[in-house]
Structure 1
Amino acid sequence: MDRTAGQKRTSGAFLYPLIDRFDQRMLDMGDGHQVYVEQSGNPDGVPVVVCHGGPGGGCSPAMRRYFDPEVYRIVLFDQRGCGLSRPHASVEANTTAHLIADMERIRETLKIDRWMCFGGSWGATLALLYAQAHPDRVLHLVLRGVFLAQQSELDWFYGGGVARFFPDLWAQFTDLIPAGEHEDLIAAYHERLFSGNYAVEARFGRAWAGWENALAAVDPAWPMGEAPADYARAFSRLENHYFVHKCFISEGQILRNRGRIEHIGADIVQGRQDMICPPLSAWRLAQGWDRAHLKLVQASGHALSEPRITEALVEATNRLRPVLRAAL
C-alpha cells in the first residue's frame, strides 16, 4: 500500500471494506447465558474466530475488516455479559473457563474443525488460553497487545506504575476513592461497581473505562472518547470482576503452559509505546517460541484502531492466506 509523505493515514486506509453478516444467532449456553455469534466473509473460507478485549469490550463491525472476505470465514462473538449477549453486565457463571467452553460450543455448532484465533489485549489472553486447552483446534494465532494476566501487569496499570507517566489522569481515576483505599484500587472500585445502585455503578464504570481509554492510543489524533453509561458499566463490571479473581487462572499459567502450543504458529503485533500492556509481556511470550514472530510497532500504543497496528495486523492476515488454505 502506498504512503503519502507528511500525511497521516487512518486505520481505514489499511482495512477491507465493511461487509455484512451472512449469519447471526444467539446460542443458549444452558446456564442462564445467551451468547451472540455472527459470521461474515466466505462461508467456505478459512475460519477465524475473533476474541475481543476487556473482558467486557464486545465485538464491533469494524473487526470484520481485518480479513480478506474472499478468503476468510469470520466468526465474531460477544463474550458473556457484554455486547449483544445476555444477561447484560452479568458476572454470574462468568469465568475464563466458561468463555473457553463457549468458544468450543461455537466451533462445534458452526461445524468448524480448526480455526485461526485472532485477539488483542484480553482477547490475546483468551486466545492463548483457548489454544492451550484445545491445541488441536487452532490453525494459527494472531495476537495484539499481549496481556498474560499476571499480577505485575495489574500492578503496573492499577497500582501506580503507569501513573508515573500520567499523574494528571491517575489523579482523576483515584480521586473518586478515599485515600485509605488506594492500596487496592481494584477492590475499591469493585465495591462501587457492584453496589446495587445503577447511578453509582455507571459513575464509577465511566471512571474505570475512562482511565483505560485515555491511555489506549499514543497519538491524540485518534482519541478514544467517553463511553456511554450502559457500555461503561458493563465493561467495567466485567473487567473488574475478572481482575479481582486474577482472571481465574494461576500466576504465570500462560507462560508455564506455552509448551502445549509451541507447534502452532503465532504472529504477535505489539505497540512499542503500549502503556496498558507494556511490550515486556509480548517479548516474554515470544522468547524461545520458534514459530512465533514478534513485531514491535514503532510510535504505537495499545488500541486496535491505531493505524500502524492495523496495518501490521492486516499484513499478517494477508500473508497467512495461502499458508492457512494449505493447512485445511
Structure 2
Amino acid sequence: MDRNAGQKRAGAYLYPAIEPFDQRMLDVGDGHTVYVEQSGNPRGVPVVVVHGGPGGGSSPAMRRYFDPAHYRVVLFDQRGCGRSRPHASVEANTTWHLVADMERIREALGIKRWMVFGGSWGATLSLIYAITHPERTAALILRGVFLMMQRELGWFYGGGAGAFWPDLWTRFASAIPEDERDDLITAYHRRLFSGDYAEETRFARLWAGWENALATIEHDAGRGEGPSEYAHAFARLENHYFTHGGFLEHDGWILDQKVRLRDIPTVIVQGRYDMICPPRSAWDLSANWPRADLKMVPLAGHALSEPGISAELVKAMDGYRASAVAMGF
C-alpha cells in the first residue's frame, strides 16, 4: 500500500469519472425490476460490482476502481433499493433472490464468467454467489468482510461497537424503551415495519445514522443519516435480512462452504480498525485458503471511500489485468 495513503483522499487513487455506455431496467420477476448499467470497455474483462447494505445501492464512484480501457464494469442496484423498483420492498427479497438476479444479469449481458467485486454486505453476497456458482466466478475482490454471523450482529447491535462510541450508541439505543433493548434488531423491526411511514422514517434515519457514523476511521459526529428515502430503504432491507439471518441455512454457513471457493483467486482488503465489520471475519475467511490474499490496511475503517482501502482495491484490480488469459478471458 502507498505509505501516504492515509494523507490523501480516496479519489487520488481512482480512475477518472466515466459515464455508462448501457443502462437498463431488468425485469427479474416477482414484481421486481432491477437497475443495471455497464461502463468501461464493452469488450473488456467483465467485473460485477456488488454494493453493500443490504439496501445501500450503487453509486457512480464505484465505476472508478477499474481501468476503463481494460474492464467492462457492471453495476446493479439490488432489489428494493437505489433505482430498482418497488422501492424499499421486502417482498420476494432474500439472499437467494439476489443470487438468482445476478445470474439473470450475467445471462442478459451475454457474459460467460466475470470477476466479482464487493464490500461489506456486498462481500457477503459475493461469497454466497461464488459458493453457488464457482464456475462463473473468475476472481473475488472483497472489502470489509461480513459473514452474516450472529457474533457480528451481536458486536454491532449488542453494544460491542457501542463501547467505543458510547455517545452515538446511547442515541441509537435510547430511542427504544428500556425493556426492549436486549434485542435491538427486533425492536427496530417493529418500528421499521409499523405501517406508519413517519415512524418508519424516523427509526430508519436512526438505524442508518448509527452505521454511517462508524463507517470511517476519521469519524465526524456531524455525518448525516442521508436522505429519508434512502434511509427508509436501507434500514428496512438491512433489518429484514438481519432478522432472518441472511436467509442462510445456519450460522457460520459461509465458512462451512468455503471449500467450494478454494480454486478462486481472491484478494481481501480489510481495515484494521473497521468498527462495523471487525477484522476477525476476514482473518477467519482467509485462513487455510491458499488462493486468498488478505491485505490488512493500517489506520483504516470500513468505508469504500477510506483512502487506504481505495488504494489497495485499485492496486488489486490493476494487478489482475495481467491475469486475464489465465482466468479464461
Q: TM-score, normalised by structure 1?
A: 0.97
Aligned to 1:151: 150
Q: Please state how far the C-alpha of 1:326 moved relative to its aligned partner.
A: 3.8
Q: Distance in 1 between matches of 2:154 and 2:252?
A: 15
> For the Cα contact (< 8 Å) 1:139–1:324, is it kept in 2?
no
Aligned to 2:324: 324
Q: Distance in 1 between matches of 2:223 and 2:113?
A: 34
Q: Please state how far the C-alpha of 1:34 moved relative to its aligned partner.
A: 0.3
Deviations 1:61-117 (A, max 9, x none): 000000000000000000000000000000000000000000000000100000000
Aligned to 2:49: 50
Q: Which has the larger displacement, 218-227 or 314-323?
A: 218-227
Aligned to 1:14: 13
Structure 1 segments unaligned to the other structure (5+ residues): none
Structure 1 stretches of 4+ with a deviation exceeding 6 A read 1-5
Aligned to 2:302: 302
Q: What pairs up with 1:70-109 in 2 under 5 angstroms? A: 70-109=69-108
Q: Distance in 2 between matches of 1:325 and 1:203?
A: 51
1:69 corresponds to 2:68: yes
Q: Please state how far the C-alpha of 1:280 moved relative to its aligned partner.
A: 0.2
Aligned to 2:258: 258
> For the Cα contact (< 8 Å) 1:222–1:306, is it kept in 2?
no
Aligned to 2:214: 215
Q: Please state how far the C-alpha of 1:198 moved relative to its aligned partner.
A: 1.0
Q: Please state how far the C-alpha of 1:3 moved relative to its aligned partner.
A: 7.3
Q: Please state how far the C-alpha of 1:29 moved relative to its aligned partner.
A: 1.1
Q: Distance in 1 between matches of 2:4 and 2:179?
A: 53
Deviations 1:159-191 (A, max 9, x none): 111111111110000111000000110000000
Q: Distance in 2 between matches of 1:189 and 1:268?
A: 32
Aligned to 2:169: 170
Deviations 1:181-209 (A, max 9, x none): 00110000000000111111111000000
Describe the SS at the equivalent of 1:68.
coil
Aligned to 1:160: 159
Cα distance change on mapping 1:37 and 1:222 into 2, 3 Å: farther
> For the Cα contact (< 8 Å) 1:46–1:325, is it kept in 2?
no
Let me know the Cα RMSD of the aligned residues.
1.6
Q: Distance in 1 between matches of 2:294 and 2:51?
A: 20
> For the Cα contact (< 8 Å) 2:2–2:311, is it kept in 1?
no
One-letter code aligned to 1:241 = H
Q: TM-score, normalised by structure 2?
A: 0.97
Q: Please state how far the C-alpha of 1:324 moved relative to its aligned partner.
A: 2.3
Cα distance change on mapping 1:2 and 1:139 into 2, 3 Å: closer
Structure 2 segments unaligned to the other structure (5+ residues): none
> For the Cα contact (< 8 Å) 1:193–1:237, is it kept in 2?
yes
Aligned to 1:113: 112
Q: Please state how far the C-alpha of 1:325 moved relative to its aligned partner.
A: 4.1
Q: Distance in 1 between matches of 2:310 and 2:195?
A: 39
> For the Cα contact (< 8 Å) 1:45–1:71, is it kept in 2?
yes
Q: Distance in 2 between matches of 1:219 and 1:185?
A: 26
1:287 corresponds to 2:287: yes
Cα distance change on mapping 1:84 and 1:70 into 2, 3 Å: same
Q: Distance in 1 between matches of 2:305 and 2:232?
A: 22
> For the Cα contact (< 8 Å) 1:114–1:137, is it kept in 2?
yes
> For the Cα contact (< 8 Å) 2:139–2:264, is it kept in 1?
yes
